[in-house]
Each structure stands twice: as structure tokens, then as C-alpha cells.
Structure 1
Amino acid sequence: MIELFFIRHGQASFGQPAYDRLSSIGERQAVFLGRHFHNNGARFDAVYSGALRRQIQTATIAMQQMNGDGPHHIHVDADFNEFDNSDRMMNRLHTVIQEDPLLAGQMKDIHTHPSAIARIFEIAEKAEMVPPDENERNRLARQFRARIGSAIENLIQKVGDNKKVAVFTSGGPTAVALRQTLETSREQTIRLGWELRNTSITVLRWDQQRLWLVLFNCVAHLEAQNDPQLITYI
């Protein structure tokens, strides 16, 4: 049996020239996450992170809070990165939004809105940042699912049995892992990805040669702070 803790990165810098870094709120979220693990006596046999800056930042801050000056080696695996075109789209959207006063006003509170990701992809489609060809979109989605599936399989083979592993990643990879676990449709998988909050914890258990869902989208470490601004979606 292996427990996989899929942890979404903290709030990134959407609306800024460079998306791939934690905002000040994202850094606070990672601090509270690490303290939560420390206070609950959590121990991981291995810690993985995608290669994106926001993923590594979240892992580093959380592990520092969890272990103090103790060891917190992080295995960086780019196969746990977000969908390949996602960050390019996010960075280009900065210019689109800045040039449209109406969009800029609508984006003011986007971070804390449950439909944030759906709204952003709606804007991206109108700005022709999403491939218009359905076959091309399906091909890219299949590649992405295959990459995440291979990353999970490789991790399981490397860590061995009876281990607890943290994987600091993004919403897309977590949603794909859930699709593999729950056998959801494409539409259901996308909707699950939209629901994932920053620094949320989703736990999957590898047992009997398959994945089982144990915990989904938990942000108890943020809810305990009694600050709605900490509950963010992008």
C-alpha cells in the first residue's frame, strides 16, 4: 500500500506579467500547509514536485515549516508539471486583460471565485489561445494523461511498498490522477479540476494494483485561519 498526497501549489501570480511564481497569499498558504503537517505529526517517506517554480516554491516552504532545519529533500520531476500550454496561456492573458478595461474589472476578484478556471478558459477561447481544432485538443489531452499516468507509475515503482509520498503539483495533474482513480468522463474530470483549491490536499491510495480515493480537495489548514481571502482557486 502507498499513500500519495497530491498537493496543489499555492496561489500563483495570475494577472501579473509572469504567472509562474507564488503570490504573497500563495506563500502564506504554503506556510499554513507545512504547519498543518507538522502539528499533525505527518511524515513523508519521499517528497516530489513538478519542475514549475510555483510547485517547487510551495514544496520548499511547506517542508521548511514541517521539518524546520531538518532534511527536506525534494525530488523534482517535470512529468508532474501542469498541461504544457497552460502557463503560456496564462502569461498571454495578462496582456489581453490589461488591454480590456471590462475584463480587468471582472478579474478583480477572480482568485477567490469558484469558477475562476472556467472563466479564464472562456476568455482564452475568445482570445483564440486554445487550439480551435477538436482533434488537436484531444491529441494534446491524451499526451497529458499519458505523461501523468507514467509519472505516477514510475513513482510507485521507485518508492516501494508501505510508503507515504507528497506530490506538489497542479490542478491538471491532480484531476488526471482522479480520472484514473474514479474512471470519470472528460467533462467530469475537467469539472473536478476546476474545483481544486490552492494548497488543497487530495489523497490517493495505491492498493490491490489500483488507485483509491481517500481525501479530496482538503484545505482544513486554510479554513482554520478564518480568513476567506486564503481560499483561492488560481
Structure 2
Amino acid sequence: MGELYLVRHGQANSGATTEEGYDRLSDLGHTQAALLGNWMRAHEDPFDLVLSGTMRRHRETADGMGYAPELFDERLNEMEYFALVRDMKVHHDVDPPETSEDFVTHMPQTLAAWEQATINGVESFATFETRINDALTEAAKPGKRVLCVTSGGVISMVMRGALGLDTQQMANILLPIFNSSLHKFRIRPEGTFLSAFNAIPHLDPPELSDHRTHF
């Protein structure tokens, strides 16, 4: 049996209004990454392969954790959400989210429109799904332990495949994913099976409650 561990990046620049502006860790994001790396070295066996998306926030998270990826794969990069936000305004007259509550409503609407191809952003929903599945199918093999640093949308897409989720369910899985959270899957010849979702053991101590973030 193989194991696939997916890590969401630490908190990024959540006040940004562009992809480039968002794509860097906050001071708290760096701290979250370091805490996760310390916890994993104390509690987890070594990995056979370490992967990362190519985004700055992925690379900074892996570095903060103390892991050196052998491969940086752009297929593990996040959806370009700001492009989808733009298309929702242009094609559906849906305003960009301004608060976290707005985001809770906006994300399911956006994913549904994207899957139905009434918006496209910089790539289709099908392309996003296929590139993630292809990258992880190549990497995750029975008998191997693989660690991948990526983003929440990628993790929710893997969850979609493992659990057979529809797009509304995928959005509901995506929204509560913590920064620097850990997600584990068992890889068997017959498929990929979830064994842990949204774990933040490195942030469990009560004094770290203010380190638990979603955005």
C-alpha cells in the first residue's frame, strides 16, 4: 500500500486582489509551515518522494517545513481564482467577494459555472481536473510514500476523485481547508482512498488557536 500526503500551503497574502499579489506567505504562513515541518519530522517516517507545485507559496511552504522537493510540477498549481472571479462578473454579473461570508457563497457558484463552461478563466474545469489527476497518478504508487505541497483547490479536486463528489460537495470540502493542513490518502491498485482530512496536529495546542486560519 502506498501513501499520499497533501499539504496546503501556509497562509498567503489574503488581502491581495491579484494572483501575483496573493502568491507569497504571510509571516504567520511561514510560522505555520515551520510548525508543520517540526511535527512531521517527529511523527512521520521519511518520504520516498517530495513534490511541490511551482507557485511561490508552495515553494516557501516546503522550504519552511524543511523539505526539499525533488520535483516542482506546475500541474499541482492552484486554479487561477481571480480570473474566475473576473469571468463571473463579466458573464454572470456576480460581484467579487469582499468578506469571508461572501466567499462562502461565491465559491460554489464559481465552481458550478466553471464546470458548466459558462466561464473559463485561464483553463477549463476539465483541464484543471485532468492535470491534477495525471500528476498524482504518475507520482503516487503502491508501496511508496509521497509528500506533495500544493493548494486547497487541488486538494479538493483529489477529494472529489477519491470520494465521488459533485461540484457543490467539492466546494463544501474546499471552503474549510486550513492553511498548512495535512491530508492523507492510501494508494492501492484498486484506487485512492482517504485516510485523513484537514488535520492540523501542529496547531492543536490551545496557545496556537490564533494560528488556525483558512485565508
* TM-score, normalised by the number of residues in structure 1: 0.75
CA offsets 1:62-82 (integer angstroms, 9 cap, x no match): 025xxxxxxx34310000000
The reply on whether 1:135 has 2:112 as its aligned counterpart is: no
Matched, 1:33 2:36: yes
Identify if the C-alpha distance between structure 1 residues 132 and 190 changes in structure 2 by more than 3 Å, giving closer, same or farther: closer
Q: CA deviation at 1:42?
A: 3.0
Contact 1:9–1:169 (Cα < 8 Å) also in 2: yes
Residues 136-194 of structure 1 show CA distances to partners (whole Å, capped at 9, x for unaligned) of 347822221111111111213xxx54111111000111011011101111110111011
Give percent identity, aligned residues only: 28
- AA aligned to 2:104 is A
In the other structure, the counterpart of 2:13 is 13
**C-alpha separation in 1, matches of 2:32 and 2:46:** 19
- Provide the residue aligned with 1:232 in structure 2: 213
- Which residue does 2:25 correspond to in 1? 22
The one-letter code of the counterpart of 1:136 is T
Which blocks of at least 5 consecutive residues in structure 1 are unaligned?
Answer: 65-71, 93-102
> After alignment, is 7-16 or 19-28 more displaced?
7-16
Residue 191 of structure 2 corresponds to 210
The answer (yes or no) to whether the contact 1:116–1:233 under 8 Å persists in 2 is no
Question: How many correspondences in the alignment?
Answer: 200
Whole-Å separation in 2 of the counterparts to 1:81 and 1:185: 21
The reply on whether 1:47 has 2:47 as its aligned counterpart is: no
- Whole-angstrom CA distance in 2 between matches of 1:134 and 1:216: 27
Among 137, 150, 159, the residue aligned to 1:153: 137
Amino acid at match of 2:117: N
Unaligned runs of 5+ in 2: 87-95
Deviations along 1:21-51, whole A, 9 cap, x unmatched?
0000000000100000112143111110001
Following superposition, the deviation at residue 87 of structure 1 comes to: 5.1
Structure 1 residue 200: deviation in Å? 0.5
1:4 paired with 2:7, answer no
Q: Out of 189, 198, 201, which is 2:179 matched to? A: 198
Residue 118 (structure 2) pairs with residue 118 (structure 1): no
Instruction: Output the CA distance in 2 between the equivalents of 1:133 and 1:75.
Output: 29
| Residues 32 and 137 of structure 1, relative CA distance in 2, 3 Å threshold | same
